[in-house]
Structure 1
């Protein structure tokens, strides 16, 4: 199957203002800033289509959805013994407690905001094109695998990544990402908020899973909604890989946001579920990257990734990662607009009182890899100057919730690169 319009999720976002006839009385969350990518724009990037199709083909084999293929042999190697031998304790229980504390503002949100939260799911779900829904199904079935990271790397680097991942050349990175993904199960049990498709009177239509398994069964999930487990997994993988490959930092982080958006498209998660997971992941990864013991494992995995990809590319990573002129959908302005949209999903503020941005100690480490030429203080100032307004949902939670809700990594990096270029 050809994904001729896999990037039309931006168009989907901008069209949520036009409420579907299937979702009457839905107060949609508009995205007036984004210009929709047209079908012709998507078709002009056939290399990305091939990459996305390769993702699907590999995923089908890995999950045992291809007759005659042994899924145990098809799965990419993950060197869990390497990480285990380090003796590093992920302290999962404490990190889960921190995540719940960070998101505790969810329990005090007004019903009007929760209603809007559901209405936005319905609007996005019904406005999604068939191509966007298909990609959302691939994302759903590809949970815990890294295939989805290839597209934001671009045709050359992405192809090299798929070869290296499948052959086990980056097995340490796969293990590190797996170990560093802190489960949201405890938080889900704590908040215990019903899924969108379980809310009385919802207009969500179940989607048939006919892309990977092709058994035409209806895709569904169980358990509570808040925060999103898939978003947690996808954003952790995307952000850690971005830290390892800063040459494609912005596209990879944006892919993490798109991965979360897929959950809303399927009607199984709310915007707040996705936003909450992004906040917690950024908090966790910043904390880990400031831990010398974890950082030692990260540096080893990062070196393995960069060495393997340079070998597979047959050229320097800088050359392999360069955007394809005019055809690189991940470097288009619409992508930055899309990322900004996913920070709030158009939900209204819950607090109009302006609050200052206070950067937690060490948070600037997230900008270290893509902006090595800047000092720690300069990176902290970037996080402040590019943050979104205060007062949006979840910003009144635990300590530093205001910061983690507002941090905009994509804009911070773009502005940092502009400043660096101006001083050359």
Structure 2
């Protein structure tokens, strides 16, 4: 069994703050995301999303109980699936769209989603900083993640945002698979809870954030142009009518 050394509770908020400062230093070194279609923090997601459940509240305790239940029941196959979904890539949706949906065949799709990921990150990060929510494994030592432990704040989930956003964009490209893509996006997000690194409310907020970001993207002419090119490539590779 994996054991964690937990810092004293009074230092946990400071630890998250220091992680945020470190992220700022990395940004200064050119390692942070850059805007493509949306100006950074242009959506003010902190005004769109509800606040997360307070630590120690009945809802927070219920979420931790659900996570512990999932921890007890997760199988090696579930762990492997969650580990694979750590990668925020549209090609994680190849299990819906088919083996031909890969980065070798679709460099334009890869480039589009790299830009989408950076834009989404720049919208999500201010909301994370606003609430500065502790990760579940920092709040409850009984939570034992099977995924790499992120250093950022927990709410909202960036992975959930990307998974749901990818499902929305891919569904617009391949509406024939919209229902299956939506379910795959939900599974992508759910794997963060199964893996022990996000609360259920984190991924629910990620889904809401994805809808807001998708709306803004599709209202952007530059995004629409890149999207249409990627859509045409995708449908051609998948053997679908234009």
TM-score range, shorter chain: 0.7 to 0.9
- Residue in 2 that maps onto 1:204: 143
Separation in 2, partners of 1:306, 1:225: 36
Residues 129, 231 of structure 1: CA spacing in aligned structure 2 closer, same or farther, 3 A cutoff? same
Residue 110 of structure 2 is aligned to residue 174 of structure 1: yes
Offset at 1:275?
Answer: 0.4
For the pair shown, the structure with the greater C-alpha radius of gyration is 1
TM norm structure 2: 0.76
- Residue in 1 that maps onto 2:218: 289
- Residue in 2 that maps onto 1:242: 171
- Residue in 2 that maps onto 1:91: 39
After the TM superposition, which residues 184-203 of structure 1 pair with which residues of structure 2 at under 5 Å, given as runs? Answer: 184-200=124-140, 202-203=141-142
Tell me if the contact between 1:177 and 1:236 (Cα under 8 Å) persists in the aligned partners. no
- Residue in 1 that maps onto 2:195: 266
Tell me if the contact between 1:309 and 1:317 (Cα under 8 Å) persists in the aligned partners. no
Offset at 1:88?
Answer: 6.2
Separation in 2, partners of 1:152, 1:309: 12
Q: Which blocks of at least 5 consecutive residues in structure 2 are unaligned?
A: 1-33
Q: What are the superposed Cα offsets for residues 351-390 of structure 1, whole Å, 9 maximum, x if unpaired?
A: xxxxxxxxxxxxxxxxxxxxxxxxxxxxxxxxxxxxxxxx
Residues 241, 89 of structure 1: CA spacing in aligned structure 2 closer, same or farther, 3 A cutoff? closer
Separation in 2, partners of 1:89, 1:146: 18
Residues 239, 223 of structure 1: CA spacing in aligned structure 2 closer, same or farther, 3 A cutoff? same
Separation in 1, partners of 2:187, 2:83: 13
Root mean square deviation of aligned Cα: 2.5
The DSSP-based 3-state class of the residue aligned with 2:52 is helix
Which of 115, 133, 152 is the equivalent residue of 2:96? 152
Offset at 1:161?
Answer: 1.0
Offset at 1:109?
Answer: 9.2
Offset at 1:257?
Answer: 0.4
Tell me if the contact between 2:53 and 2:60 (Cα under 8 Å) persists in the aligned partners. no
- Residue in 1 that maps onto 2:60: 114
Separation in 2, partners of 1:175, 1:159: 19
Tell me if the contact between 1:125 and 1:264 (Cα under 8 Å) persists in the aligned partners. no
Larger % of helix: which? Answer: 2
Residue 205 of structure 2 is aligned to residue 276 of structure 1: yes
After the TM superposition, which residues 18-417 of structure 1 pair with which residues of structure 2 at under 5 Å, given as runs? Answer: 89-95=37-43, 97=44, 99-106=45-52, 111-140=57-86, 142-143=87-88, 145-153=89-97, 158-162=98-102, 165=103, 167=104, 169-181=105-117, 182-183=120-121, 184-200=124-140, 202-207=141-146, 219-310=148-239, 316=240
Tell me if the contact between 2:108 and 2:230 (Cα under 8 Å) persists in the aligned partners. yes
Separation in 2, partners of 1:227, 1:274: 7
Aligned length: 205
Separation in 1, partners of 2:55, 2:173: 37
Q: Which blocks of at least 5 consecutive residues in structure 1 are unaligned?
A: 1-83, 210-218, 311-315, 319-424
Tell me if the contact between 1:107 and 1:191 (Cα under 8 Å) persists in the aligned partners. no
